């Protein structure tokens, strides 16, 4: 587990180093706000196109192979940023780079869920997911420092180097035995059948709406801060968010094993809504700091708790596909966010763009509270921690 966690930490540090700096890089080479959104959205397109097939590959060929694919792509992509300066080429490079998260996160989540006992699944998944906020705290801070002090070349070389070290760590991971049996001897569900099934459909829609909001923050918050002339480094926004997310994950995982996943997903959706509202109203360093803290509360609960809930709702031999398809909603949200919100920001400004994401996250909250279980009353009870998940395959409330 320690080697696996280390590989994940290095992967996320490499990936997160781009968050505050790549939009600035695109702007520096002449990209417009909309072009920034389009290029950054290419990452999510790579996620969306490849995650389902990588989930199937994880179920059929093992989790380790998919982990290695993710780290190989993460190690190669930074060299592309050194070579390409045209918007079309950067767009296709971002699609390629998106395969890294599609592969690594799918393999990593499935592997951790396989290894975690049912009774402590929420706790273990939350602890192992701490690699993401730690990496998101370290990566942007170092990336912003390298870019400001030395330039983009040193930043890109740094991200490639730590991805290569992560690849060496992941190569030592022992792959668990494959379970080649299908979930049903007579039925092999395809992408559409899994997506439209009640256990997956609503979480995927919620993740779609959350993905739009998260995409807006990741792509545009550094530019928004710069446009307000507030003396606050965009990289520190992500660092504060990651610290907040880290803190939440320490406590929510174990609590979810006792009180159920729904309560904490609801809390996270409320936090995301509040974070978007605070960004909408932000005018000072303290405003951005508070919104970053609240954003981290949302990120520290929604992603890990939805992941754990989908582990509860899936069998080991289909887990990679279930995770991949549910998270494809998140990927699609980020893909939509980039060009659409880029256009909105061109027309209305960054501030009003965050007003739009406030409404979307509130809609996600309403959908989850009313539709996450088999009927309204069951959904409401599960969402506030008073009832069981009717779709769970475990005896966890």
Tell me the residue range of the domain where 265 lies. Answer: 2-174+190-383
What is the average pLDDT score of the chain? Answer: 85
| C-alpha 1: how far from chain center | 21
| Average of per-residue pLDDT across 131-157 | 82
Q: Which long-range contacts (CB under 8 A, 24 or more apart) does 161-164 make?
A: 162/10, 162/13, 162/14, 163/10, 163/11, 163/14, 163/71, 163/74, 163/75, 163/78, 164/75
Res 187: pLDDT: 47
- Structural domains in the chain (count): 1
105 in a structural domain: yes
- 226-267: pLDDT as tens digits: 888 787 777 788 878 888 888 888 888 888 888 889 999 999
Helix (H) or strand (E) holding 17: none
284 in a structural domain: yes
Tokens encoding 365: 């909250």
User: Which residue's structure tokens are 């979480």?
Assistant: 203
29 in a structural domain: yes
The size of the chain, in residues, is: 397
**High-pLDDT (> 70) share of the chain, %:** 95
- In order of 145, 152, 159, 318, the CA distances from 149 in angstroms are 6, 9, 16, 47
Res 14: pLDDT: 87
Res 178: pLDDT: 63
CATH code of the domain covering residue 45:
1.20.1250.20
| C-alpha 37: how far from chain center | 17
185 in a structural domain: no
Phi, psi for residue 159 in degrees, rounded to 5: -65, -35
């Amino acid at each position: 587990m320690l080697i696996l966690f280390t590989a994940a930490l290095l992967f996320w540090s490499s990936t997160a180093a781009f968050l505050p700096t790549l939009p600035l890089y695109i702007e520096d080479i002449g990209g417009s706000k909309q072009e920034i959104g389009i290029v950054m959205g290419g990452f999510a397109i790579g996620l969306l196109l490849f995650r389902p097939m990588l989930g199937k590959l994880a179920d059929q060929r093992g989790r380790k192979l998919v982990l290695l694919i993710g780290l190989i792509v993460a190690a190669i992509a930074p060299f592309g940023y050194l070579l390409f300066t045209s918007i079309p080429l950067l767009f296709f490079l971002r699609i390629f780079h998106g395969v890294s998260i599609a592969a690594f996160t799918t393999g990593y989540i499935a592997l951790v869920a396989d290894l975690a006992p049912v009774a402590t699944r929420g706790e273990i998944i939350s602890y192992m997911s701490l690699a993401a906020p730690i990496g998101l705290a370290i990566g942007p801070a170092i990336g912003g420092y390298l870019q400001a002090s030395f330039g983009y070349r040193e930043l890109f070389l740094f991200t490639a180097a730590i991805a290569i070290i992560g690849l060496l760590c992941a190569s030592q991971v022992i792959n668990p035995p494959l379970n080649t049996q299908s979930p049903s001897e007579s039925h092999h569900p395809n992408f559409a059948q899994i997506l439209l099934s009640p256990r997956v459909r609503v979480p995927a829609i919620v993740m779609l709406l959350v993905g739009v909001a998260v995409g807006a923050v990741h792509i545009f918050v550094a530019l928004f801060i710069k446009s307000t002339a507030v003396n606050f480094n965009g990289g520190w926004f992500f660092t504060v968010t990651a610290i907040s997310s880290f803190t939440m994950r320490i406590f929510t995982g174990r609590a979810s094993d006792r009180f159920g996943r729904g309560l904490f997903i609801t809390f996270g959706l409320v936090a995301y809504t509040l974070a978007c509202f605070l960004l909408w109203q932000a005018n000072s360093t303290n405003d951005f700091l508070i919104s970053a803290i609240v954003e981290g509360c949302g990120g520290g609960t929604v992603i890990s708790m939805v992941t754990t809930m989908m582990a509860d709702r899936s069998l080991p031999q289909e887990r990679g596909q279930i995770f991949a398809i549910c998270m494809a909603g998140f990927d699609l949200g980020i893909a939509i966010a980039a060009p659409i919100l880029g256009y909105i920001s061109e027309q209305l400004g960054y501030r009003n763009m965050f007003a739009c994401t406030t409404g979307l996250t509130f809609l996600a909250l309403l959908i989850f509270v009313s539709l996450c279980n088999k009927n309204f009353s069951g959904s409401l009870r599960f969402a506030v921690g008073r009832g069981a998940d009717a779709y769970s395959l475990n005896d966890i409330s």
